[in-house]
Amino acid sequence: MPTTLMLKINRDCGISLDELEKKWAKAKAIGGEGNWASVMGIFKKDIPEACKEKLGWKEALIKESIAFDLDGTLAKYTKWNGSDDIGEPIEPMVNKLKKFIKQGIAVKIFTARASKESNISPIKQWLKQHIGRDDIPITNLKTHDIEKFYDDRAVTVEKNTGKVLCGEWYFVF
């Protein structure tokens, strides 16, 4: 955890640095090393509400979300066969989505299918059957609240550099 943030929480909320270190270690153990969004979400849940208000975290928790593509990421996909044809779940990604939900991290389904209102109902049915809930927001819009995307078609680019990090491929003619 950044030292400046830890000192701010210590100063503004009176939580000892030792206690903050323990909370951070616990969040890292649950959220996974190097997964900042998940670790921070878990850490924030372990901070008293009055402290969150002083730090302005209540609103920030609502704004942050993680988006999951549907076809090819959460559900198996080979070709378009209509809006009612959504593939079988891809268990590792479905489990990751469920883990984020359990940790209190906001998630969204980010899919081109959402460009037509008539496609939403089959997605909600699929979510109810395979995730256990149908109240997860579904969108086709990239919005500022989305912190991270899980998508089978993405090419990762280093922020502000244009440097391709992974996922690039080329058409060969």
Tens digit of each residue's pLDDT (9 = 90 or more) over 129-169: 999 998 899 999 888 778 889 999 888 888 788 888 776 66
Locus of tokens 């909370």: 23
pLDDT top residue among 173 and 159: 159
Contact at 8 Å (CB) between 32 and 21? no
d(CA 163, CA 173): 24
- At 41-68, the pLDDT tens digits run 777 777 787 887 777 665 444 457 899 9
CATH of domain 64-166: 3.40.50.1000
CA distances from 110 to 66, 88, 144, 163, 168 (A): 9, 17, 13, 24, 21
Mean pLDDT rounded to a whole number for the chain:
82
Q: How many residues does the chain have?
A: 173
- Strand partners of residue 71: 75
Return the domain boundaries, the chain: 3-61, 64-166
How far apart, in whole angstroms, are the C-alpha atoms of residue 16 and residue 171? 56
